[in-house]
Homo-oligomer: A and B are copies of this chain.
């Protein structure tokens, strides 16, 4: 079968290393355009030139920039060629295409069950928030006002009060909570919504940072600070478990520094993931909001003694950004690599025939294998198109990140067996011949392989992460680690100013104080003072 293999998509174009990706070209265009108009009129252009969106080459004529060569160009190429997303007509917006949206649906399916198991109900709040609401919580308005999109005209008339398109919903949630919460019997109130949110970001990147994105936002109100803290921790645990078990991303859970805490929260917990270029991605957060919003909005309850008290609150979110995290954690030069548990296609079947008289028997066998796997609950696709050679299909589905490929040709039909290839182990090493078509053999074999791939992706990511975290004891060591592109972990009791100085001088920020802390006495890497905790510093998205 090796003879049928086409040159890989990447090798075809690897020579033209100066070629930048389509996404890249368009980003640059928009960037230049932005700079020009900003100086000219101090207004920001909302709409990309319509022609720019028609420059796209058909997938098959274009290769992926090797990851090792240019991580950013690779990322944008994978998104374009695997048809995960596309730019929308408005600057910084993204169209999530079916293959990318299916990853988000898999994330939703898992989390939705977990949220309900932990006592939350789904509901929906309006996305238009009176501007005055945003101003009620002091640090919240400071954090969000530069990023707001405002509706000023409705039904042809100018509005008396401009409306904020929600950047997050704490304010409107509290406004409604005041109407639903009367006594301690109404608590805890634990809800979640799946929604779109808008933040007017200047530098955007598909999935990672877009003007509009999809997320879930949980909001809870409790009678005591202890319950709120327990809830905030519970939800960061749900996110951590999801990341490890479903996404095969070994995130590091921890607490944000004061500087990095959410605008309006007492404490922010985070899961930090190491991408393939070793930059950190904040992949989910859970906030203990204390009484900041309940005081701003007078969200009160009568306790068991009839005393009025402000509720204690949390909020927590994971967004479509996580899809970007999956791409950048597992992908390689050949393209996307999806963890089996989140893949919408777990197994692709590629039938192979040379002569016309072989076609029917091969397709019949392929179809019956598809049925067997489908019945066993495995997400399987049969690529039976006449348009492409098997070699082209191999590369295409590798690029799309499908975990397992089943090849079946005339000789396989005779021997009633198939060839199984793993996406995560390239070439012959990942290929096993002669797996019986018998359902009692094939089904458990495929399931076992999918589990192995899931675990293997996680272990590979753990090894990569651990080999790129350096324990440091001084600022010099920290600078050295960061300059090598690594994460630095060291004891920290520095001030907010020290933290901002490090950001300015190295580009790295405190990603978190990890929950898992080394034992024994520690001295702050900056001041030498006794420190209670280590912090992780890294450059980030």
Contacts and interface: CB of A to CB of B under 8 A. Distances in A.
Given A101-B123, A157-B43, A165 B178 contact: no
Interface string A159-175: 11111010000001001
Interface string A184-203: 01000001000110101110
A184 B229 CA distance: 57
Given A212-B127, A212-B128, A159 B97 contact: no
A126 B46 contact: no
Contacts of A145: 156
Chain A interface: which size bin? 35 or more
B123 A97 contact: yes
Nearest to A192: B98
A352 interface: no
Interface in A381-429: 387
Contact of A93 (B128, B160, B212): B128
Contact of A179 (B47, B86, B128, B154): B86
A449 B38 CA distance: 68
A466 interface: no
Given A56-B179, A130-B46, A150 B160 contact: no
Nearest to A100: B123
Interface in A485-516: none
A176 B88 CA distance: 8
A123 B151 CA distance: 25
A41 B201 CA distance: 34
A483 interface: no
A126 B162 contact: no
A146 interface: yes
Nearest to A91: B154
Contacts of A225: none
Given A86-B176, A123-B101, A387-B185, A158 B43 contact: yes
A58 B123 contact: no
A160 B176 CA distance: 35
Contact of A152 (B127, B150, B160, B178): B150
A42 interface: yes
A153 interface: yes
A90 interface: yes
B179 A126 contact: no
A168 to B, nearest CB: 16
A128 B100 CA distance: 20
A166 to B, nearest CB: 10
A145 to B, nearest CB: 8
Interface string A110-150: 00000000000111111111101100000000000111111
B156 A126 contact: no
Contact of A53 (B96, B128, B179): B179
Q: Which 10 A-B pairs have the closest CB atoms?
A: A155-B200, A98-B121, A93-B126, A88-B126, A150-B153, A96-B124, A46-B159, A154-B200, A47-B130, A101-B123
